[in-house]
Amino acid sequence: VNLLDEPKEVYASLLIAGTLVNICIIVLSNFLINQFVSFDKLGAVVEALSKVTAISFVLVFGGKIFPKVWAAQNNLRFAYGSSFVIEALHLLLRRISKWTVKLADRIGKRAGSHKTDAMSMLELDAAIDIKSDEEASPEEKSIMKGIVKFGNISVKQIMRSRLDVSGIEYSSSFGQVIKRVEELHYSRLPVYRSSLDELAGILNTKDLIAHLNEPENYDWHPLMRQPYFVPEPKLIEDLLIEFQQKHIHFAVVVDEFGGTSGIVTMEDILEEVIGEIKDEFDEEESNNYKVDDNNYIFEGKIMIYDMCRIMKLPINTFDMVKGESESLAGLILEVAGEFPTIDWVIPCGDFEFGILKVDNHRIQLVKVTIRPKSTVSNE
């Protein structure tokens, strides 16, 4: 049995084994106390309190604190040494564990288990935060949090929307293509016919290097590569594997109707773990920044979970009000119910969204304010 293939069942086996061990410790401790200590003159209350204190100390220190501290300090050695014991216990208790997991899943579905994933992620975030600076630097903590969230992030959450996508028209001359590449500084560009919904291919700009001395009428279209399409709901964890297998770095994101909704690159995926990657052509100044402890400035296109990460909020803070939206602009439209104009202030629970800039029916810049508790309670 591969333990990694049955994580829930293994965890259930360990819980069952731990419960049985605790029962054995209680019974054995009680027996030993009765053998070596006499409570005849002290009374039943003192006897009960003494036994509870002694047994609790053994359970908490011997069964919880000491093993966890030792395992944390010797994690690899502990993992190697305990793997055989865990596998043996799981083989013994596997049937009971599977039945327990099935029962728990049924109860969870009826009770609404969709909240458990968010809670477990919050607990992992909290566990990372309590690590001391000696154990992990702020950068390492940020990377660990990125890894925790990595498996639950969809392509739609990190893609660059089509309104922010620049490309090359299929009818462009070779000279126009070179000029466009020099303007945009991108390594890969989509080539479209009438719109981004009619993609003809992807142009890798390094393929142009060998042809820079060609005349204006040079036919550059054979240099195009076949575009790779992915759906919006695809998890970036799966997309990363596909990128590695196919040796590509660029994908076109399509919606449920087959239209182009944006693009996603290898860099976008990696940034979810290691943070923003800057190159010589990236703008130094970001429009997403902290003003003070209660005020932040964000671009409307920022993803909600990115905003929560910057504000150090739980990632599910806006789950009850965001609907299907993934960006801050979408959240504001969901809450407001109409398109806001400049200087609008939209209350949303413990927060206020102030509209700073709107352009071509796009919310460009937003001021997010954490409202004082007294203000929220008075409404």
- From residue 355, alpha-carbon distances to 34, 233, 326, 339 in Å are 73, 29, 18, 11
Residue 192 phi, psi dihedral angles, 5° rounding: -125, 160
Q: Look at residue 118 in the predicted model and tell me its pLDDT.
A: 54
CATH homologous superfamily of 155-274 equals CBS-domain (3.10.580.10)
Q: Do domains 155-274 and 289-378 have the same CATH topology?
A: no
Q: Look at residue 204 in the predicted model and tell me its pLDDT.
A: 93
Cβ contact 37:126 at 8 Å: no
| Angle 183-187-192 from CA coordinates, rounded to 5° | 75
Q: Which residue, chain included where needed, has tokens 């220190």?
A: 61
Q: Look at residue 9 in the predicted model and tell me its pLDDT.
A: 87
Residue 199, token pair as written in the block:
């993609």
Cβ contact 314:303 at 8 Å: no
Strand boundaries in 188-249, DSSP class E = 188-192, 199-204, 229-231
Structural domain spans, the chain: 3-111, 155-274, 289-378
Q: Which residue, chain included where needed, has tokens 């964890």?
A: 237
Q: Look at residue 357 in the predicted model and tell me its pLDDT.
A: 92
Query: Residue 24 belongs to what H/E stretch?
Result: helix 7-36
Q: Alpha helix locations (H) across 130-235?
A: 138-150, 155-158, 174-184
Q: What is the pTM of this model?
A: 0.61
Read off the DSSP letter of residue 54.
Answer: H
Q: Look at residue 366 in the predicted model and tell me its pLDDT.
A: 94
pLDDT along the chain (379 residues), means of 10: 78 89 90 83 83 89 82 77 85 89 80 55 67 68 76 87 91 94 91 92 93 92 95 93 93 92 92 73 68 92 86 85 88 92 91 92 92 62
Question: What is the spatial distance between Cα 307 and Cα 327, in angstroms, rounded to a whole number?
Answer: 9
Q: Look at residue 179 in the predicted model and tell me its pLDDT.
A: 93
Q: Look at residue 175 in the predicted model and tell me its pLDDT.
A: 93
The 3 state secondary structure assigned to 69-102 is HHHHHCHHHHHHHHHHHHHHHHHHHHHHHHHHHH
Q: 289-378 architecture in CATH?
A: 2-Layer Sandwich (3.30)
Question: What is the spatial distance between Cα 335 and Cα 164, in angstroms, rounded to a whole number?
Answer: 24
Torsion angle of C-alpha atoms 235, 237, 238, 240, degrees rounded to 10: 120
Phi-psi region of 312 (alpha: psi -120 to 50; beta: other; left: phi over 0): left
Residue 343 phi, psi dihedral angles, 5° rounding: 80, 5
Q: Look at residue 276 in the predicted model and tell me its pLDDT.
A: 72
Cβ contact 86:3 at 8 Å: yes
Q: Look at residue 244 in the predicted model and tell me its pLDDT.
A: 93
| Angle 176-177-178 from CA coordinates, rounded to 5° | 90
328: nearest Cα among 357, 351, 306: 306
Question: What is the spatial distance between Cα 170 and Cα 86, in angstroms, rounded to a whole number?
Answer: 61
Query: Residue 10 belongs to what H/E stretch?
Result: helix 7-36
Q: Look at residue 121 in the predicted model and tell me its pLDDT.
A: 64
